[in-house]
Amino acid sequence: MADINRIISDLQNDSSFMSCVTRWERIGPRPGRYCELPGDLDPRLQRALAGRGISRLYSHQGQAYRNARSGHDSVVVTPTASGKTLCYNLPVLQAIIERPETRALYLFPTKALSQDQQSELGEVVLASEFGIKVATYDGDTPESLRASARETGQIVISNPDMLHAGILPNHPKWIKFLKQLRFVVIDELHSYRGVFGSQVTNVIRRLKRICRFYNTDPVFICCSATIGNPLQLAQTVLEREVQLIDDNGAPAGERHVVLYNPPLVDRVQGIRRGVVNEAQKLAIRLLRQKVKTIVFSRSRVRTELIADYVNKSLANMYTDNARIRVEPYRGGYLPSERRAVEKGLRDGSIHGVVSTNALELGIDIGGLDAAILGGFPGSISSSWQQLGRAGRRQSVSLAILIASAAPLDQYMVANPDYFFGRAPESAFVDADNIYVLMDHLKCAVFELPFGADEGFPQAVTEHLALLEEEGTIRLSGHSYYWADRGYPAEGVSLRSATSDNVVIIDTSGGAHSVIGEMDRPSAKEMLFDNAIYLHRGEQYVVLQLDLHNRRALVERSNVNYFTDALVKRDIKVLHEDHRQQLCGCEAAVGDILVRTQVAKFKKIRFRSHENVGYGNISLPEEEMHTRAVAMIFAEGSAAGNALAQLPPTMIAPAMTRIGALIRNVAPFFLLCDARDIGIAERLRDPHFGAAALYIYDAYPGGSGLAEAFVTVMPEVLTAARELIAGCPCRQGCPSCVGPRDSAEEIDGDPKQALGALLEAWLAHAQPLPKTQTAARS
Amino acid sequence: MRNLYQRLKQQREASPALPAAGAAAAARAVAQPSADLAGEWQPVAQQVWRAVYRSPLLGSDALYRSAAHGGLLLGPEIDPHGLCFFDSETTGLSGGAGTTVFLLACARLHGAELETTLLFLSDFSGEASFLHLVRDQLMSAQTLVSYNGRAFDSNILRNRFLLNRIDPPHRPHIDLLHPARRLFGSLLERCSLAVVERDVLGVTRDIDIDGALIPDVWLRFLRSGRTGELQSVFAHVRQDVVSLVALLAKIEELVASPDRGGIDPLQRARLLVESPYRRAGSVRLRRSGLQSLSVLARDPSDPRSAIAARYYCALLKRCGNWDVAVPIWRDHFERRRSVWAAIELAKFYEHRCRDYAAAAETVAHAAGWDHASAMQPELTRRLERLDGKQRRASGSSAVRGHSDSA
Ligand SMILES: [Zn+2]
């Protein structure tokens, strides 16, 4: 039997382990709070629940049920293992049983999640034998099943992309569904932040508009992971009053959360043992005690390596791996393989899993005893979601964060109070991002003529007039009509990432079998010619990456190294629209090309991880054309002068820290997500002939963030100065200028230097918000 | 998009309280076409125009003959005067809620004349009136005839009716695309109406507009108000419906006398066997199909003989000509071990002879063939049913069975 208590006391008595622990936090158990099954719940549904061992509800499930039944929109904050799906399944199933014509739409952010949901809901439906028809409608749904999904699906499971490009533009085909649409479930609401959130907000606007046409007003039930502002996010996305349900009634066992900094192997150079080795050693230690463990790793290659090492080590110690099964899990596998791992974890046939953040989202894998985070995942809320994968309702759980050498990781283990005290990040959405709004306004006109005085929901008369001038819509009578032969949703992608996948084909021994799929940018980094590709414990060599036909031919291999691509990023200014004097520097706005090139790869020996050679990669660059603003520290400007005053060795560290600082501050003002903006600093920029800091839009073509940045620049810089002055840290932390990097050789305090720079700069800055059109082009 | 953004910004900065509605109205006044449609065009509602043309109808005999005697698609129950040949032009070819119909052409037979009605929408705001008139046109017919109208025109029209909250018209619909594919598919590069028209009907259009460009013409007209370019669109859609009439006549003619058209006897037989238009297709027509097939079916050197035999027998079955069909099935069952022949034979024993034992024996025999594995589920089902029938027939009092699962 798994004895988590024994392993906890073993670890606590292990002095070499404990010497690396910087904080051992015990979080006491929390009793459950329950309520009776709702009185109006159909007896057959009650019996079906009883068959699954559910005779009462957690308090938050009851509240979600009552809210939905009384027609109120809600957002339920649902940590892992809190019985999230019942919060929305119960009111929906009840309504369908009462009135079989009732329809519900479930939106999941990714396709993988929707398939998982269908299998789980399938259980409820089958168990209760109501014959409720659940249909998945996404890009993978074969044409032959689409019509039946539309006509007979009582619960249709889809994603925002499909709603945007498939369902709404063809809403007359969905008339039967839309006329009876009573519920819209938005799961994983927290993933709709930043520009993606703006996109989805506008899709929801269109959905509500179409619903009005069919005289329906569905109730929205949202679920969100723990973030700083779930209610605000829900109200921004839905644009109406929403009730917050964050009083989680699910019980939780005692939790131990440990911050672990690997031991130094070279005290002089400050080199520590690597995350991969530490994670696999700890995982083996836990698994040998039959502790069900999940290991999170920060890359796909590391996921494969750790799983492979763990399995091999277990095989050496015991025959038949002591019947302990450990599987890797990441993007790039076939859906059926992922389903099999998820199922194995739920039914207990798989004891350990090594995963990328793919398992951080709400896929149901049951409760695990322990979680090992191989590196800080980048945000506090992600950390808690990953740590939360360990934890059952009754028993004790253990979660260990292993720090890598990265400054952010090192800061977290060195400052446990920061880690444990910091609130999860908030999610920002700019519902009225003008680029996004204009795109969706076109789609809305396509879907239904747009009244000249109609709102979206705010007044958009100017926007419509501009679209009319552009010629895509036309005012006739009192409405605007779509007056273009195109299909606007086709040209609008909700996500910045490209969706065309490369298929991985194993050709060993004359075979030709598809073993996986991968998005194009990742394929360039993992499936280049001669790459060693690790896939579910097997080693393959890539014979040919054929981007044109979107396939990679691979063959089994048996070498003693794996490969790691070196990625180079480069920015080129394509066109400068205008430049203005602003806040004591020059701000130039224009088009840039962000080029990502994988030109070389390293060969790294298994286990020892020593570098055993290099190879060349000849692949075309990945290019993104986007919009950027460059802050130019021009000679003689307040910013330029302030930078010049710094000691020469401090100039480079200061520039990188301005970037980190702006990344921390700007999202508050831009209402975007940190991942929506890219930041690059140049000490001497070839285009501008001075030091420059680029803030660019991570969304291809731009989503207005660069332009918006110019308008909020005075506030951003003022806030940045205040943040540095007010931050209690010593030489920088993740909240301000970024943590001090031990690999950096700097004399003095970079935080202080940057503070001085900002003071000197802003003291002489005269914000002159006047546009000067550039003569150059 | 960037320009748009900047202009929007500038506009906002320049005049915070912009009288946007006024500006838009001014823009509209300029763009509003004068819609100077002349000649046969009559305004019939706000932004809706109608034109009616009459032309002599050549080769209408075939239509009237098929209707009188029963053809592939036509039969005595269909009055040719109740046929409405229609085609529409739209603002896009990709479908979706934003694709609008702006032109409808309907042709009706009047003795030896054809009357073609065009309904034209000259701006979006007239759509509801336009659709009411379209509805009246279509509903006044007994049966609609189109080319690919089932998949395309009807769907887009249905969207328009739904969006305008008008009941869509419902009428029986003959889509000529399906029989044209069967008859000419193997002969033509594509089965578009344009190609069929050129290569089968021998129609040459003097000047014609590429159908794919038509949406742009209407959208340009909306902006400029100039009707010049529209004339070619009107001519195009008129010719389309005229060709529809000719095509229906041609199909009936070819099916009735196959030797003249050089059409593939197999495809023709398939049409007759699979025809969804069961109410038509006279006995006379099926009989005529038999002659060409019988030769092919009996020529074992021809690789198509098996399939020809299959269609041949299917046609024989429809004519009730069991005496000829059964020996062919038996031959294919015994000598060539054809599963389809076994199934046909079993059906014959079961339904015609009521000899369930013989039927079951035939099916069981076929189920034992290695090459029959793909058909196994169907054979098993059939066998189970036959077993049940045998039991009931042998001692119906002893069997308290469920309802007949057949
Ligand atoms: Zn700090």
Is B8 inside any structural domain?
Answer: no
Tell me: do A317 and A338 sit in the same domain: yes
Q: Is the pLDDT of residue A774 over 60?
A: no
Of A72-76, A630-634, A679-683, B336-340, the one with minimum mean pLDDT is B336-340
Distances (CA, A) of A648 to A433, A653, B319: 40, 10, 101
Tell me: do B249 and B346 sit in the same domain: no
Q: How big is the A-B interface in CB pairs under 8 Å?
A: 111
Q: What is the pLDDT of residue B273?
A: 67
Tell me: do A303 and A407 sit in the same domain: yes
List phi, psi (to 5°) of B266.
-65, -45
Between CA A412 and CA A70 the distance in angstroms is 45
Is B3 inside any structural domain?
Answer: no
Domain endpoint, select from B217, B235, B256: B256
CATH code, domain with B205: 3.30.420.10
Domain endpoint, select from B221, B256, B291: B256
Q: What DSSP line would sit under A656-689, residue for residue?
A: HHHHHHHHHHHHHHHT--GGGEEEEEESS-TTTS
Domain endpoint, select from A182, A214, A245: A245
Between CA A610 and CA A626 the distance in angstroms is 38
Between CA B22 and CA B29 the distance in angstroms is 11
Tell me: do A287 and A171 sit in the same domain: no
Q: What is the pLDDT of residue B340?
A: 85
Mean pLDDT, 10 residues at a time, over chain B (406 residues)?
Answer: 54 43 45 64 93 85 76 78 94 89 95 93 96 96 91 88 94 88 75 82 79 92 90 93 90 72 67 55 59 72 77 77 85 85 89 88 86 81 86 58 36
Q: Is the pLDDT of residue A657 over 50?
A: yes
Q: Which of B4, B94, B215 sits opposite A466 (nearest CB)?
A: B4
Is A45 inside any structural domain?
Answer: yes
Tell me: do A258 and A139 sit in the same domain: no
A157 is in which domain, residue-wise?
34-245
∠ CA(A541), CA(A547), CA(A549), 5° rounding? 105
Of A348-352, A479-483, B152-156, B263-267, the one with minimum mean pLDDT is B263-267
Residue B278, classified by CB atoms within 10 Å of its CB into exposed (0-12), middle (13-18) or buried (19+), is: exposed
Is A615 inside any structural domain?
Answer: no
Q: What is the pLDDT of residue A579?
A: 92
Q: Read off the pLDDT of residues A582-629 as tens digits, 9 standing for 90 and up.
A: 889 999 999 999 998 888 999 999 888 888 999 999 888 888 888 999
Domain endpoint, select from A245, A265, A292: A245
Q: Compute, in angstroms, the gap from residue A727 CA to the centroid of ligand 1.
A: 5
Q: Is the pLDDT of residue A659 over 50?
A: yes
Is A257 inside any structural domain?
Answer: yes
Cβ separation of A469 and B27 shorter than 8 Å?
yes
* Most B CBs within 10 Å, among A212, A473, A475, A705, to test the B interface: A475
Is B30 inside any structural domain?
Answer: no
Beta carbons within 8 Å of A625's beta carbon, 6+ residues apart: A574, A591, A592, A593, A700, A701
Tell me: do B82 and B175 sit in the same domain: yes
Of A401-405, A533-537, A713-717, B197-201, the one with minimum mean pLDDT is B197-201
ipTM above 0.90, yes or no: no
Between CA A497 and CA A680 the distance in angstroms is 20
Between CA B395 and CA A407 the distance in angstroms is 88
Residues with CB under 5 A from ligand 1 (ion): A 727, 729, 733, 735-736
Q: What is the pLDDT of residue A521?
A: 82
Is B354 inside any structural domain?
Answer: yes
Handedness of CA B123, B129, B135, B138 (dihedral sign): negative
Is B142 inside any structural domain?
Answer: yes
Is B342 inside any structural domain?
Answer: yes
Domain endpoint, select from B256, B289, B323: B256
Q: Is the pLDDT of residue A488 over 70?
A: yes
B374 is in which domain, residue-wise?
337-392
Distances (CA, A) of A316 to A278, A321, B302: 18, 8, 66
Tell me: do A161 and A145 sit in the same domain: yes
3 state SS for B354-373: CCHHHHHHHHHHHHCCHHHH
Residue B11 contacts A, CB cutoff 8 Å: yes
Is B284 inside any structural domain?
Answer: no
Q: What is the pLDDT of residue B23?
A: 46
Q: What is the pLDDT of residue A497?
A: 63
* Number of domains, chain B: 2
Q: What is the pLDDT of residue B14?
A: 45
Q: Read off the pLDDT of residues A430-465 as tens digits, 9 standing for 90 and up.
A: 888 888 899 999 999 999 999 999 999 999 998 999
The strand pairing partners of A103, in sequence order, are: A181
Q: Is the pLDDT of residue A212 over 50?
A: yes
Tell me: do A544 and A465 sit in the same domain: no
Tell me: do A376 and A238 sit in the same domain: no
Residue A81 confidence class, pLDDT cut points 50, 70, 90? confident
Tell me the pLDDT of chain A averaged across its residues: 88
Radius of gyration, CA atoms only, chain A? 27
Tell me: do A472 and A511 sit in the same domain: no
Q: Which residue of A has its CA nearest to B98?
A: A446
Q: Are A541 and A557 in contact (CB under 8 A)?
A: yes
Tell me: do A312 and A406 sit in the same domain: yes
SS3 of B75, please? coil
Residue A305 tokens read as: 């390596």
Cβ separation of A487 and B215 shorter than 8 Å?
no
Chain B, 196 to 215: residues with Cβ < 8 Å from chain A are: 215
CATH code, domain with A113: 3.40.50.300
Q: Compute, in angstroms, the gap from residue A297 CA to the centroid of ligand 1.
A: 27
Q: Read off the pLDDT of residues A280-314 as tens digits, 9 standing for 90 and up.
A: 999 999 998 889 999 999 888 899 999 999 988 88
Q: Compute, in angstroms, the gap from residue A751 CA to the centroid of ligand 1.
A: 8
Higher pLDDT, B93 or A532: A532
Q: Find tokens 């399939």 and name the residue.
A: B307
* Number of domains, chain A: 5
Of B244, B89, B86, B82, the C-alpha closest to B160 is: B89
Q: What is the pLDDT of residue B33?
A: 46
Distances (CA, A) of A473 to A64, A470, A730: 42, 8, 57
Among A50-54, A263-267, A396-400, B274-278, the range with the most confident prediction by mean pLDDT is: A396-400
Indicate the DSSP class of residue A432: T
Is A616 inside any structural domain?
Answer: no
* Most A CBs within 10 Å, among B28, B48, B155, B161, to test the A interface: B28
Residue B4 contacts A, CB cutoff 8 Å: yes
Of B85, B23, B96, the C-alpha closest to B60 is: B85
Indicate the DSSP class of residue B352: I
Other residues' Cβ atoms within 10 Å of the Cβ of residue A625: 12
Q: Are A328 and A252 in contact (CB under 8 A)?
A: no
Cβ separation of A482 and B215 shorter than 8 Å?
no
Of A257, A302, A262, A258, the C-alpha closest to A410 is: A262
Of A134-148, A149-163, A573-587, B303-317, the one with minimum mean pLDDT is B303-317
Q: What is the pLDDT of residue B262?
A: 61
Mean pLDDT of A668-688: 89
List phi, psi (to 5°) of B114.
-115, 130
Of A28-32, A399-403, A506-510, A729-733, the one with minimum mean pLDDT is A729-733
Q: What is the pLDDT of residue A769?
A: 40
Q: Is the pLDDT of residue A763 over 50?
A: yes
Among A39-48, A417-426, A579-588, B98-107, the range with the most confident prediction by mean pLDDT is: B98-107
Higher pLDDT, A223 or B252: A223
Q: Is the pLDDT of residue A407 over 90?
A: no
Q: What is the pLDDT of residue B217?
A: 95
Q: Are A61 and A90 in contact (CB under 8 A)?
A: yes
Higher pLDDT, A374 or B290: A374
Mean pLDDT of A675-685: 91
Q: Is the pLDDT of residue A707 over 90?
A: no
Q: Which residue of B has its CA nearest to A449?
A: B98
Between CA A37 and CA A14 the distance in angstroms is 47
Residue B374, classified by CB atoms within 10 Å of its CB into exposed (0-12), middle (13-18) or buried (19+), is: exposed
Residue B30 contacts A, CB cutoff 8 Å: no
Smallest CA–CA separation between A625 and chain B, in Å?
13
Q: What DSSP line would sit under A593-652, residue for residue?
A: EEEEEEEEEEEEETTT--EEEEEE---PPEEEEEEEEEEEE-TTSHHHHHHHTS-HHHHH
H or E element in which residue A708 lies: helix A705-726
Smallest CA–CA separation between A73 and chain B, in Å?
28
Of A296, A105, A280, A92, the C-alpha closest to A186 is: A105
Is B332 inside any structural domain?
Answer: no
Mean pLDDT of A164-191: 95
Residue B154 identity (one-letter amino acid)? S
Is A777 inside any structural domain?
Answer: no
Distances (CA, A) of B322 to B286, B310, B315, B317, B355: 14, 14, 10, 6, 16
Residues of A in contact with B11 (CB under 8 A): 462, 466
Mean pLDDT of A373-388: 89
Tell me: do A217 and A165 sit in the same domain: yes
Phi-psi region of B266 (alpha: psi -120 to 50; beta: other; left: phi over 0): alpha
